[in-house]
Amino acid sequence: MKTLKINKIILLLIGLVAFNSCVEDDDFSVPNTTIVEPVLTGTTIEISSVAGQLAQEQGNGMLDYSDDDTFFTYPTDSADQFVTGYVISSDEGGNYFEELILQDAPENPTLGLRVLIDVNPLFIRYEVGRKVYVKVNGLSVGISNGVLTLGPLDGDRIGKIPAPSENDFIQRSAEVATMVPLEMGVADFTDDKTNLLIQLNDVQFLKSQAVGPTALSYASESFDQFDGERTLEDCSTATSTVFATSTFADFKGLSLPEGRGSMVAVLQKNFFGDEFNVVINTPETIDMTGQRCDPVFGADFQEATDNTTFDTPGWINFAEAGSRLWSEDVFSGNGTARFSAFSSGDASNIGWLITPSIDMDAQTGEVLTFEMQHAFPDSGHDPMEVLYSTDFDGTEAGVLTATWTSIPFTKSYIVDPGNWFNFVNSGALDLSAVTGTAYIAFRYTGSDTANQNMTIDIDDVKISVQ
């Protein structure tokens, strides 16, 4: 019995010694997570080189983003090549899935590239700003969903790099850059700016989607399938675009911001590649706390009837000279207000189209915008004038006795006379100094007999707050 007790004491002492030898002063070893700059087995190329290879395969000097049938495949038996880029997408919030969006520089980028890879999540290894090297050997480049895309060819489309091959194709640089988004407006969107990190300023969500009882979430409504699509308006140019959020995003249930401000996002295309989409990594990049720029007045003429006299209630349609009045026109489902002196038989046609009254004292910082297109221009003839009056009495009899002030605007038929039936935005025309009750007039001056009978269409007339 005594021997057994002594043995237990000896075992206890041995255990204490062993424990003390494993733990000394609470000093545990920490795994080394430092990323070392990789030693590449080949040369590096730019995203522009990848785009150039595809353009050459397409038979073009410039990349054709509408050609989604042509691919260029890098040979596997040639020297290794690695395309370099900086990560601008993040799947941490669930708005991206099994893809990396890269651009060619941290600041002032010129081209971007989408890389498809069958791995999720990616953000823990490829955070925004991380420089990466993607081996292109054996991969194909093409236009997929409207954007430049890299991955293995899978039949007649670009597929995903298999998960087991991730480290064979993608290597991380030690560099994590601070990404500076490219500032632009909705009107500046072009195909070659897709796959770039952008900053939109002075934007807001459509009022019917973001304000009041009809306000929507990012992407959790019953009608949202795959993506929630919301309308984002550019207050500076009165243009708009689609803001897309995945129905798998962890912020899909949040309400859209009500105000006006800025956001950092990635410019992409929709699934069909035929419409620009703005996609965010996280709602934290949205700052919309400013006053909205909803129109004080707006008219889109969608109630127009083809080839009939313009008779929208509240508007005045007045012929100062000749028999011709403004008419309504519908083309491809879009209604417009139209004037043309063609076939009027009049030596002089002067037609006024005047808005209803607008209270200019109810807000400040007003601007006027509208869309205008032309056809059949006459050399040297300038038929259109836009004016405002604050002493007009709102009757046809008072049109010619009121004081009207001209508002200069860019006229597409002078800038590009050959560009027919293409709507051009007027730009923001400053009305902030106008007070009281105002009227806006569109005045056409022409002649059928003098061959000054150009066709003019007006659409989307708005007065907004800047």
Same-domain pairing of 151 and 202? no
> Are 113 and 219 in a shared domain?
no
Task: Give yes or no: residues 283 and 159 share one domain.
Answer: no
Of 158, 176, 194, the position where a domain reaches its end is 176
Q: What is the CATH number of the domain that holds 415?
A: 2.60.120.200
Please tell me whether residues 195 and 249 are part of one structural domain.
yes
Q: Are residues 141 and 231 in the same domain?
A: no
The answer to whether residues 101 and 114 touch, using CB atoms and an 8 Å cutoff, is: yes
Number of domains in the chain: 3
Query: Does residue 254 fall inside a structural domain?
Result: yes
Which has more pLDDT, 363 or 44? 44
Domain-embedded: residue 227: yes
pLDDT at 352 over 80: yes
Average pLDDT of span 156-174: 97
Q: What is the CATH number for 242?
A: 2.40.50.140
Q: Which one-letter amino acid corresponds to residue 229?
A: E
Q: What is the pLDDT of residues 219-233, one digit of tens each?
A: 999 999 989 999 999
What's the pTM value of the predicted model, to 2 decimals?
Answer: 0.70
Is 315 within the bounds of a domain? yes
The answer as to whether 144 is a domain residue is yes
The whole-angstrom separation of Cα 169 and Cα 80 is 10
11 inside domain = no
CATH number of the domain where residue 122 is located: 2.40.50
Q: What is the pLDDT of residues 49-108, one digit of tens each?
A: 999 999 999 998 899 999 999 999 999 999 999 999 999 999 999 999 999 999 999 999
**Beta pairing, strands 276-279 & 239-246:** parallel
pLDDT 10s digits, 298-338: 999 988 898 899 999 999 999 999 999 999 999 878 899 99
Gap between the Cα atoms of 227 and 145, Å rounded: 14
Q: Which of 131, 158, 176 is the last residue of a domain?
A: 176
Q: Are residues 196 and 166 in the same domain?
A: no
- Tokens coding 50: 């990848």
Q: Is the pLDDT of residue 416 over 60?
A: yes
Judged by average pLDDT, the poorest of 18-32, 62-76, 81-95, 362-376 is 18-32
373 forms beta bridges with 457
163 and 227 within one domain = no
Pick the last residue of a domain from 238, 265, 290: 290
Question: Are 154 and 170 in a shared domain?
Answer: yes
* 32 in a structural domain: no
Q: How confident is the model at residue 235 (pLDDT cuts 50, 70, 90)?
A: confident
pLDDT for position 238: 77
Alpha carbons 416 and 428: distance in angstroms, whole number = 20
What domain range is 301 assigned to? 297-465
Q: What is the pLDDT of residue 413?
A: 86
Residue 464 — pLDDT band, cuts 50, 70, 90?
confident
Same domain, 286 and 319: no
229 plus 304 within the same structural domain: no
